[in-house]
Structure 1
């Protein structure tokens, strides 16, 4: 069975407005390749358990599009898009290299057991598991379909309180639509 990751599927109050924000942030071609939108299933009540990491030359360009700062960290900034979806902005390794304000380089998924989830998904999408900053094997490199993205499984202690508003999709005949830790995902054939 061949499984490849597809775009992130994002719940949206106003799918057209949210797509326009991300088109402006990433460029239309990258946005269409990486993100798709659907009407929200339920209002947002907790932080998203899945979010993108972006390289940016200047956070101000995202703020001008309607993003807002949630927190400043040493080395990155946590922002929210126009519908309060969290994402992290890191300084671009090669400033000025992209026309769009941002480039997605990773997808983060919260988990209380990130090593287990990373190992399961690595086997499914043929990715190489490498250590995260704490030295534990929980970052996937070169997953099928997301060859240019890193899939980071982030250790958190909070319990899942709602379905993921951002979920990944897979292109496959896979029989399941939920991984071992209860993350639903979309199946596209």
Structure 2
């Protein structure tokens, strides 16, 4: 009798997506409807909530504006581009001009995201369907993160990117690692939070950045920062 190969124990689980913002209130007003989330507390609008804790998006106040292209960006579903523009987004590269299946846009603070049009009535309530990561070596990055999440990275021959499925908010949401020619020059204004044990991640090649009360900031092999929160006993076994 043969047995299916077992994936290794995950070292991390998805916790949240984080977006830096100069104006947290304005960015919350923009991103909540765009993502299909709710502002948790209008008097302190730094957290967007959804059906589960994994849907959480944090708006982190920073004093540095967007200056260079982010190394991570969200992919979202939308009924129309006009709806996003009406909310304050800007079109950077329309799909009809690039020939791609999405429109590249910027939020009110200049952070890039890609909008995928869905037929009327088929836009899901939760509109974030992916996070894209710019990489010098997308295969290595996808496999590094896949080993942490306990998932196998996949690669379609017709595409030049690598993908992790089912490791983030839901089974539909993907983490996509794409090749880019330009080097990393500044911290991205988008990052994700995970639950895990810092010592295990350092042993796998993560780099220490700094400590915060309640979490630790590390960087992956290409220097992208992410935050690690200690697990409860039932989170990771």
TM-score (norm 2): 0.71
CA–CA separation in structure 1 for the residues paired with 2:161 and 2:88: 36
Q: Which residue of 2 aligns with 1:142?
A: 166
Q: Does 1:108 align with 2:117?
A: no
Question: May I ask how many residue pairs the two structures share in their alignment?
Answer: 187
The question of 1:90 aligning with 2:116 is answered yes
Q: CA deviation at 1:174?
A: 2.8
* CA displacement at 1:11 relative to structure 2: 1.0
Picking from 152, 157, 161, the partner of 2:181 is 157
Check if 1:21 corresponds to 2:30: yes
Q: Which ranges of structure 1 fall in alignment gaps of 5 or more residues?
A: none
Residue 76 of structure 1: aligned partner:
102
> Does 2:208 match 1:186?
no
Q: CA distance change for structure 1 residues 130 and 54 in 2, over 3 Å: closer, same or farther?
A: same
Aligned partner (choices 11, 32, 51) of residue 20 of structure 2: 11
Which residue of structure 2 aligns with residue 128 of structure 1?
Answer: 152
SS in 1 for 2:127: strand
CA contact (8 A) 1:111 1:155 kept: yes
State the match for 2:62 in structure 1. Answer: 40
The 1:123/1:150 distance shift into structure 2, 3 A limit, reads: same
| In 1, Cα distance between equivalents of 2:227 and 2:80 | 33
Whole-angstrom CA distance in 1 between matches of 2:13 and 2:65: 29
Partner SS for 1:23: helix
Pick closer, same or farther for the CA change 1:135–1:77 going to 2, 3 Å: closer
Residue 114 of structure 1 and its aligned partner are, at CA, apart by 0.5
Asked which structure has the greater RCO (Cα within 8 Å, sep 6+), the reply is 1
- 1:131-152 Cα offsets, whole Å, 9 max, x none, are 1564557111111555431100
- Structure with max Cα Rg: 2
RMSD (Å) for aligned C-alpha atoms: 2.2
What TM-score, normalized to structure 1?
Answer: 0.88
